[in-house]
Amino acid sequence: MLFLGKRSTTGQGIGLSQLPAMQDSELSWGEVSYRPSGEVTPETEVEITTGRRGCGNPQCASSWTAPWRSRKRPIFEGQWGCGGRCVLEMVRTSMRRESSDGILDAPTQHRHRVPLGLLMHSQGWLTHPQLQKALEIQKERGGRIGEILVAECGVDSDLITRGLGMQWSRPVLSAGGFSPRLMALVAPRPFLAQSGLLPLRVAGSSILYVGFEDRLDASSVLALERMSGLKVESGVVKTGEYEEAKAALLENAAVDLKEEILGDVDAVAARVTAVLEQKQPVASKLVRFHRHYWLRLWLEAKAGGGQGVLPVHAEDVFDYVFTAGRLA
């Protein structure tokens, strides 16, 4: 089929030969191999997570080797902060990085794309009268052209999905191998709801496949890539399959979430710092999507938290979604 097989879904041929073969349901712990929490002392946790023991704030004025500086947490984005002021500096640096990433603000939906109906007509998948009729109905009562073509013009829904894949230059993905329990842990519900992104499966331990129904949200793909440390491949999923998988996902528990609305990005930075100081995570990460900042905390080493890690259960992982009133 036209859009399948562009890339192997097994993860072969991408330099993973050194890794043991893994099933989709098995998740990588990155460089950190799983060990029962009893074996992990605070000492090893820091070394595992950061690889070094200096304060993560380059401007840090204090000497972290001083004996009274015995704290080993919080760890934010692989770095240890020696005190609240240094953690705040690290958080601000991270938020500047998230803001300067221009593509996050690119309104993908405004980028020029060939209208779906025209594209399908040019492929010979629609007759001119079919297209005409669908456009008239859409003008009259609105709605999505693809749905109208299926409902009113006798067009096969598989063709709509192929057309959408072509429109977005993305493969058509199936929901095969979908584990609703694991995929429900991938990202917080507001992130999924706003982006329309549906996590589908992890393949070869390093690729996360995600599906969209009719519109691809590039910024959410990038945000998820940074949060998970996995390569995120996106595609279009047939409407029926998408709806079914999404419903199954929503029936499963997500990571505990707290949502907060704050005045501006400075307030977000201060709040993120306060949360890190309070929760003392062994790992944490911050990404931005649209107007929101998603902070994920790993509270115990056994919950994972290195690069390329998705939670396998909701315990010891915590999500925050902060919305900044102003993004200045």
Give the residue among 54, 74, 108 at the shortest CA–CA distance from 286: 74
Closest to Zn ion by CB, 130 vs 284, is 284
Residue 143 structure tokens:
């709605």
Cα dihedral 276/256/240/199 (nearest 10):
40
Q: Using the Cα atoms of residue 31, residue 37, residue 38 and residue 40 in order, give the sign of their dihedral.
A: positive
Listed ranges 55-63, 109-117, 138-146, 240-248: which one lies at the site for Zn ion (CB under 5 A)? 55-63
Residue 278 structure tokens:
């309070």
Residues 327 and 265: beta-carbon distance below 8 Å: yes
Site track 101-120 with Zn ion (rule: CB under 5 A), x = hit: --------------------
- Smallest separation, CB 120 to Zn ion (Å): 58
Listed ranges 86-94, 140-148, 165-173, 267-275: which one lies at the site for Zn ion (CB under 5 A)? 86-94
287 forms beta bridges with: 294
Binding of residue 82 to Zn ion (CB under 5 A) = yes
Closest to Zn ion by CB, 90 vs 198, is 90
How far does the chain reach from its first CA to its final CA, in angstroms? 46
Binding of residue 57 to Zn ion (CB under 5 A) = yes
Listed ranges 9-17, 30-38, 54-62, 102-110: which one lies at the site for Zn ion (CB under 5 A)? 54-62
Binding of residue 60 to Zn ion (CB under 5 A) = yes
Q: How far apart are CA 170 and CA 235, in angstroms?
A: 5
Q: How far apart are CA 154 and CA 13, in angstroms?
A: 41
Q: How many residues bind Zn ion (CB under 5 A)?
A: 5
Q: How far is CA 221 from CA 11, 81, 120, 172, 312, in A?
A: 19, 29, 26, 16, 20
Closest to Zn ion by CB, 79 vs 167, is 79
- Smallest separation, CB 65 to Zn ion (Å): 11
Closest to Zn ion by CB, 75 vs 237, is 75
Binding of residue 274 to Zn ion (CB under 5 A) = no
Residue 244 structure tokens:
């079914």
Q: How far apart are CA 191 and CA 226, in angstroms?
A: 14
284 forms beta bridges with: 297
Binding of residue 55 to Zn ion (CB under 5 A) = yes
Listed ranges 21-29, 82-90, 168-176, 253-261: which one lies at the site for Zn ion (CB under 5 A)? 82-90
Closest to Zn ion by CB, 86 vs 153, is 86
Binding of residue 86 to Zn ion (CB under 5 A) = yes
Closest to Zn ion by CB, 6 vs 69, is 69
Residues interacting with Zn ion, by CB under 5 A?
Answer: 55, 57, 60, 82, 86
